[in-house]
């Protein structure tokens, strides 16, 4: 007999969830202060819990499981602290967890005295494995635990006369339980509780230990919903874990299957491999144009608060929240991102336009991230990424035909160092290699006069050094650069052809400088780009020409 066997499928030939779509915001319930906290190597202090509670309120979560008051004095005291200090907004339900045992239920109700809104979350495990190994009980005995616990909860509701008490029941390990038996238990609980349409019961269907693919969990949820006698009297809730790394997928498919409520933690912290990541689920919805109803506009601040109070870190590749998720190292990715961003900036109302940027599912600015960190440079980077950094970080809009040359240079340097290059290092490399190169040819002085010989012509007088020797050159042309080219031609030091020329401005106001980009072909062989920067637009072009000639001379 094999050690492991496949999980059985659910008979649901007319399943509807594959054709469904997520179109509405679910009820969000955070279990960071319970499931998340119990999974920490060092559980949060009271002060840290308070800060996390405030973070959850700031995000806009209206149902927050604050603890297991009957299992721990610390959690009992924390529940009392929230109530006695009046820290719970009027529209927020605190949720407390309890096993289906009378003394624990009574302790739970004691902890809630003075609360305005509360959810009492009762659970007991129902799966064949738990029935056999842990409890050694029959189906009827397990169902009896759930029903008796429900009756005790119901009898204690009058002890909280000023509190809106809602009831939640979880057949723990629902995904490992026979669906017909899980429904039998839940309907017995409903019969005991007697919910109404105005005050529905919450039936939470946990994927406690993932043992099958998400589609099977979705089948279980849809089968459960479609076979209920009184579906309209219940809110169907999900609580998925991540043992197969499918927590988000199981939650999304469970929503397609009919669930209206989602329990989880902000970044997926929880026992073993964790709970479902609420922020990922919410932003997945957002990327499809669905309002998730939460305040995630400053995700970096949320991350820092979470890390500071839980001691947990965020993986660099964590969806949406990771340091590197809006970063591209691949050259082809960088080029596509740059083109998408450039095209977006040209639209009439770029902030309101449809998001169409390759490789970025959402606009980083929507969650408080910035474009500056999107493209970073290493030996895998391409020409588009380098051009993006030069343009968006420093204002150098490099001509497209120049991208391959500077891209190859930067890649070579990153390969030599064996690491990522910072933006400032890319700029330093650009300046050293392309900008105002002055050997073997150096410009010392340059004067432009209107020509007396030919109308609409300019004459120039230039003082230069070539291979360390001074020369005075004179030339005639349609403009300063053509006049200087004519002057150089007469010296016979080399032959060159001007292939491409661009001009731009760097900075603004009184700090504005002109930059020229020129591509030349030297002696019919070597081609090179050069750049020149000066406050005088005429001189910047000349410096770019000289830089290009000098680079081509050295490479020849």
Per residue in 43-69, pLDDT (tens digit) is 999 999 999 999 999 999 999 999 999
pLDDT at 455: 65
Report the CATH number that the domain containing residue 391 is assigned in CATH: 1.10.287.1400
Count how many domains the chain has: 3
Query: Do 246 and 213 form a contact (C-beta atoms < 8 A)?
Result: yes
Q: In sequence order, what are the residues at sequence separation of 6 or more whose Cβ sits closer than 8 angstroms to the Cβ of residue 98?
A: 68, 69, 70, 104, 105, 107, 108, 120, 121, 122, 123
Per residue in 162-186, pLDDT (tens digit) is 999 999 999 999 999 999 999 999 9
One-character DSSP codes across 236-253:
EEEEEB-TTS-HHHHHHH
Radius of gyration of the chain from its Cα atoms, rounded to whole angstroms: 34
Residue located via tokens 């031609």 = 489
Nearest to 446 by CA among 522, 521, 547, 540: 540
Task: Assess whether 167 and 290 both reside in one domain.
Answer: yes
Phi first, then psi: give them for residue 201, nearest 5 degrees: -80, 150
Report helix, strand or coil for 22: coil
Residue percentage of the chain with pLDDT more than 90: 79
Report helix, strand or coil for 30: strand
The answer, yes or no, to whether the previous bond of 440 is cis (omega within 30 of 0) is yes
- Which pLDDT band holds residue 392 (cuts at 50, 70, 90)? confident
317 within a domain of the structure (yes/no) = no
Task: Assess whether 336 and 276 both reside in one domain.
Answer: no
Query: Do 467 and 440 form a contact (C-beta atoms < 8 A)?
Result: yes
239 within a domain of the structure (yes/no) = yes
Task: Assess whether 422 and 519 both reside in one domain.
Answer: no
- Which pLDDT band holds residue 328 (cuts at 50, 70, 90)? confident
pLDDT at 511: 79
Domain housing 353: 331-432
Phi first, then psi: give them for residue 265, nearest 5 degrees: -120, 160
pLDDT at 377: 78
Joined tokens for residue 254: 């469970």
10 within a domain of the structure (yes/no) = no
Query: Average of pLDDT values for 317-339?
Result: 87
174 within a domain of the structure (yes/no) = yes
Question: What per-residue string of b and e applies to 295-314 under the rule 16 or more CB within 10 Å gives b?
Answer: ebeebeebbebbeebbebeb
Task: Assess whether 374 and 469 both reside in one domain.
Answer: no
The 3-state DSSP composition of the chain as helix, strand, coil percent (nearest 5) reads 45, 20, 35
Task: Assess whether 129 and 150 both reside in one domain.
Answer: yes
Query: Looking at 83-97, 195-209, 446-460, which range is the least confident one?
Result: 446-460
Burial environment of residue 333 by CB neighbours within 10 A (0 to 12, 13 to 18, 19 or more)? buried
Query: Do 222 and 236 form a contact (C-beta atoms < 8 A)?
Result: no
Joined tokens for residue 6: 């496949």
**Mean pLDDT over each residue of the chain, to the nearest integer:** 93
Task: Assess whether 56 and 118 both reside in one domain.
Answer: yes
466 within a domain of the structure (yes/no) = yes
d(CA 344, CA 329): 21
pLDDT at 405: 93
CA atoms within 13 A on the CB side of 209: 11
Per residue in 249-282, pLDDT (tens digit) is 999 999 999 999 999 999 999 999 999 999 999 9
pLDDT at 501: 94
Nearest to 553 by CA among 518, 532, 528: 528
- Which pLDDT band holds residue 338 (cuts at 50, 70, 90)? confident
Per residue in 485-506, pLDDT (tens digit) is 999 999 989 888 999 999 999 9
Considering only residues 555 and 320, tell me which one the structure prediction assigns the higher pLDDT: 320
Residue 373, pLDDT > 60, answer: no
d(CA 266, CA 281): 10
Query: Looking at 107-116, 337-346, 446-455, 458-467, which range is the least confident one?
Result: 446-455
Angle at 30 between CA 28 and CA 34, to 5 degrees: 155
Bridging pattern class, strands 469-477 and 441-450: unpaired
pLDDT at 169: 98
**Region of 516 on the Ramachandran plot (φ > 0 left; ψ -120 to 50 alpha; else beta):** beta
Considering only residues 415 and 220, tell me which one the structure prediction assigns the higher pLDDT: 220
Query: Do 142 and 185 form a contact (C-beta atoms < 8 A)?
Result: yes
Task: Assess whether 98 and 144 both reside in one domain.
Answer: yes
- Which pLDDT band holds residue 556 (cuts at 50, 70, 90)? low
Report the CATH number that the domain containing residue 500 is assigned in CATH: 3.30.160.270
Query: Do 150 and 122 form a contact (C-beta atoms < 8 A)?
Result: yes
Query: Looking at 72-86, 333-347, 513-527, which range is the least confident one?
Result: 333-347
Joined tokens for residue 241: 């874990």
One-character DSSP codes across 352-399:
TS----TT-SS-GGGGT--GGGTB-BSTT--HHHHHHHHHHHH-----
Task: Assess whether 407 and 466 both reside in one domain.
Answer: no
Task: Assess whether 171 and 252 both reside in one domain.
Answer: yes
Task: Show which of 275, 310, 345 is a domain's final residue.
Answer: 310
Joined tokens for residue 154: 């119901």
**Region of 459 on the Ramachandran plot (φ > 0 left; ψ -120 to 50 alpha; else beta):** beta
Q: Is the dihedral of CA 357, 293, 239, 190 positive or negative?
A: negative
Joined tokens for residue 342: 């450039």
d(CA 555, CA 528): 8
11 within a domain of the structure (yes/no) = no
Report the CATH number that the domain containing residue 278 is assigned in CATH: 3.20.20.70
Query: Average of pLDDT values for 393-419?
Result: 92
221 within a domain of the structure (yes/no) = yes
- Which pLDDT band holds residue 332 (cuts at 50, 70, 90)? confident
Task: Show which of 310, 342, 370 is a domain's final residue.
Answer: 310
pLDDT at 371: 58
Task: Assess whether 143 and 291 both reside in one domain.
Answer: yes
Q: In sequence order, what are the residues at sequence separation of 6 or more whose Cβ sits closer than 8 angstroms to the Cβ of residue 437?
A: 530, 546, 547, 550, 551
**In Å, what is the CA distance from 194 to each residue of 41, 156, 234, 259, 518?**
41, 15, 11, 21, 82
Query: Average of pLDDT values for 1-8?
Result: 87
pLDDT at 454: 59
pLDDT at 453: 57
d(CA 283, CA 485): 58
426 within a domain of the structure (yes/no) = yes
Question: Containing H/E element for 282?
Answer: helix 278-287
Query: Do 265 and 36 form a contact (C-beta atoms < 8 A)?
Result: yes
Report helix, strand or coil for 195: coil
Task: Show which of 393, 415, 432 is a domain's final residue.
Answer: 432
Query: Do 130 and 173 form a contact (C-beta atoms < 8 A)?
Result: yes
pLDDT at 388: 83
d(CA 435, CA 94): 63
Task: Assess whether 174 and 193 both reside in one domain.
Answer: yes
Q: Highest-confidence range of 3-17, 110-124, 319-333, 464-478, by mean pLDDT?
A: 110-124
pLDDT at 372: 58
Task: Assess whether 171 and 270 both reside in one domain.
Answer: yes
């Amino acid at each position: 007999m094999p050690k492991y066997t496949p999980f059985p499928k659910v008979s649901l030939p007319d399943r509807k969830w594959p054709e469904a779509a997520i179109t509405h915001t679910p009820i969000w319930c955070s279990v960071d202060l319970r499931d998340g906290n119990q999974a920490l190597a060092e559980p949060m202090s009271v002060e840290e819990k308070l800060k996390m509670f405030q973070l959850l309120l700031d995000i806009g979560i209206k149902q927050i499981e604050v603890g297991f008051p009957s299992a721990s004095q610390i959690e009992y005291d924390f529940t009392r602290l929230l109530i006695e200090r009046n820290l719970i907004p009027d529209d927020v339900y605190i949720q407390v967890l309890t096993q289906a045992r009378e003394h624990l239920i009574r302790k739970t109700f004691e902890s809630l005295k003075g609360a305005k809104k509360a959810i009492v979350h009762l659970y007991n495990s129902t799966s064949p494995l738990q029935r056999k190994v842990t409890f050694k009980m029959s189906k009827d005995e397990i169902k009896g635990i759930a029903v008796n616990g429900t009756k005790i909860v119901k009898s204690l509701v009058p002890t909280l006369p000023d509190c809106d008490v809602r009831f939640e029941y979880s057949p723990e390990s629902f995904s490992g339980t026979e669906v017909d038996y899980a429904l039998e238990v839940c309907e017995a609980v409903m019969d005991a509780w007697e919910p109404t349409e105005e005050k529905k019961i919450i039936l939470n269907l946990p994927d406690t230990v993932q043992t099958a693919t998400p589609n099977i969990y979705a089948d279980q949820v849809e089968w459960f919903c479609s076979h209920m006698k009184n579906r309209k009297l219940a809110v169907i809730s999900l609580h998925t874990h991540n043992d197969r790394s499918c927590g988000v997928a199981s939650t999304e498919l469970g929503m397609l299957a009919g669930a209206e409520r989602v329990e989880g933690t902000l970044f997926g912290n929880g026992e073993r491999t964790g709970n479902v990541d609420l922020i990922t689920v919410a932003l997945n919805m957002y990327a499809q144009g669905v309002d998730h109803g939460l305040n995630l506009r400053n995700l970096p601040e949320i991350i820092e608060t979470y890390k500071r109070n839980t001691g947990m870190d965020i993986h660099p590749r964590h969806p949406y929240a990771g340091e590197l998720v809006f970063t591209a190292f691949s050259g082809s990715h960088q080029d596509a991102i740059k083109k998408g961003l450039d095209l977006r900036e040209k639209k009439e109302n770029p902030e309101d336009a449809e998001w169409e940027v390759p490789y970025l599912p959402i606009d980083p600015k929507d969650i408080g991230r910035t474009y500056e960190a999107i493209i970073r440079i290493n030996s895998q980077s391409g020409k588009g990424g380098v051009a993006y950094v030069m343009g968006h970080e420093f204002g150098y809009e490099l001509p497209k035909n120049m991208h391959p040359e500077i891209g190859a240079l930067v890649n070579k340097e990153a390969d030599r160092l064996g690491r990522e290059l910072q933006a400032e290092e890319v700029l330093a490399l650009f300046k050293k290699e392309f900008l105002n190169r002055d050997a073997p040819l150096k410009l010392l002085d340059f004067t432009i006069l209107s020509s007396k010989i030919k109308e609409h012509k300019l004459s120039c007088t230039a003082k230069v050094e070539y291979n360390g020797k001074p020369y005075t050159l004179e030339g005639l042309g349609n403009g300063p650069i053509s006049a200087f080219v004519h002057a150089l031609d007469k010296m016979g030091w080399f032959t060159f052809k001007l292939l491409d020329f661009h001009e731009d401005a760097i900075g603004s106001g009184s700090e504005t400088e002109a930059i020229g980009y020129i591509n030349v072909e030297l002696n019919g062989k070597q081609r090179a780009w050069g750049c020149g920067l000066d406050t005088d637009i005429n001189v910047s072009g000349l410096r770019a020409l000289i830089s290009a000639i000098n680079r081509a001379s050295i490479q020849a």
